Structure 1
Amino acid sequence: MRPFKEIKANYYFTKEDEARLSELKPLMEKRAEKVVGALYQWIIQTDSAKRIFKNESLIKHVMRLVRTWFISLFSGRYDNYFYDTLIRIGQKHEKVGVDPHFMTRAINIIRNACVDILCEEMEHNREKYLISINKILDINLDIITSAYLEEEIKGYSPAYRIKIQLVRYGEIFSQVVSLVLIVGLSIITVAVTYLCGKDIYEILSGKLEQTIVTALGSVLILWVMLELLNTEITHLKGGKFKISVFVGVALVTVIRETMIATLKHETIEFITSLIAAILIMGIVYWLVKKTEEDRR
């Protein structure tokens, strides 16, 4: 399976699309029965579909699941949990023998129902909302179908099954390490907060000249720790990994060291070397940051 970030990028699924879909949530929740009803009518009128959904109670159970899935399309949250849910849908379809054709046809019915809803409810600017709906439906179909085919291949290839298990264990290990890293960063952030508070207390106690520089350095380190923590949390949710944050850590550390060296009256050569390091790291930080922004 391709990473979710790559799939969204290939469909040009942007933050604007997420916001538009989120705006539609109240409307689609209100009109969800129309969508589910359209799919229900197709199932009961199609012989090949009726052979899979053998009784009315099963059809109603599936329709409840479809309703929940449909509303989730407009949740505004398209993270790893959303991605994993779609993978499980594809895997379940393969296990119960639902042909990918039926999923493709179901998406087509749901797409048409959404078009009808927007035409009935919106007079202006409906085109951009339709584009966002088409994107999320295509992404769903892509992931569910890919998961279905991957699950099917596993049944024929023992080597492929081993490969998938290794990848899955690797992903689990990566998630655990990320969680440990977040806990570690949280502990360090608390410690830096304590040091910062201690420096501020000494300033208020009258030791202004001795501690104001170290207090400012502690504040800079605290700011960087919060950035690191937020970056790791975002990455854990499926967001982009920002190298610029780590360059920023090095830059702030050297800045703090320069401030302390100035206070301690270190040699001019040592202070000059720190300033040169700041200049180089500043250029590197700007180049990395610019590259990250260009890739958005």
Structure 2
Amino acid sequence: MQQYNSLRADYKFTEEEAKILKDLQPRMEELADQFIDEFYDYIWGFGQTAQFLKNKDIIAHHRKKIKEWFINLFCGKYDMPYFMYLYKIGEIHVKIGLPTHYVNSAFTFVRTFVLNSIEVHFHNKEQHLKEINAVEKIIDMNLDVLTSSYREEELSKFLSLSSFEKTILSGLKKFNSYVNLFLAGALALVAFFAIGLFVYDIYLLFFSDIGIEKGILTVLGSLLVLWAAIELIHEEINHLQGKGFAIGAFIMLAMAALIRKVLIYSLSSEKVDDLLIIGFVIVSLAIAYWLVGVKKKANSV
């Protein structure tokens, strides 16, 4: 906790600002109940809040602690015990597995609520700006300390590994980045061949006896494969930028290739058995694609 000794200095937080916050405390105490009600309306919108606030007793305890924290935000005394108190709150968040983006989002509400309450009581421009600066700094310092628990948890997990385990972990990360780059290159190659296939089908349509109906369906199938390949490249770019792996895009590419087969085979009466098998596989892939989409949507709520 040595870094918290210089926290106030890093944020250029002064004793005058501490006094300004202390002077705001009576007004904020009056607003505490309103704050709690609106805060809960806000966090219930996260979708997974019920996972952490499972019953009435936990909710009542949590409301009490949030109210205490809110009033204590304007205590005027921001020393080591105060920051240790915040750090312990952060440790609890880590222990229960609360995502950091929930904490960050909740602080957006806190900031907006406090600044709006200050705006309502605006009288003197100079004093108003001082109050805003003091509030912004104390909220940022609170968020800094709370999220530091997450950073130290991640660091402690890494430091607890042996040197051999750290070497393996670092090597796997590098290997994973190389594989992702290789995959991106391979997808670009697939897209190149898909363009070639599309051009070849256009050639057959105009310069062979393939037949207009079959030729058009073949071209449409190739175009569908090309579209799916481009979509897959787009998803891989997102993955390289840190987003999740889009298994749905691979399923979509497989469906596109099979649909192309169906378009071609649909003109042949000798391919009925093959069409039934391919149709069954397409339906299975469509169900898998739907399940992936449902899971992705549920995780984003």
TM-score by length of 2: 0.49
Higher Rg: 2
Relative contact order higher in (CA < 8 Å, ≥ 6 apart): 1
TM-score by length of 1: 0.50
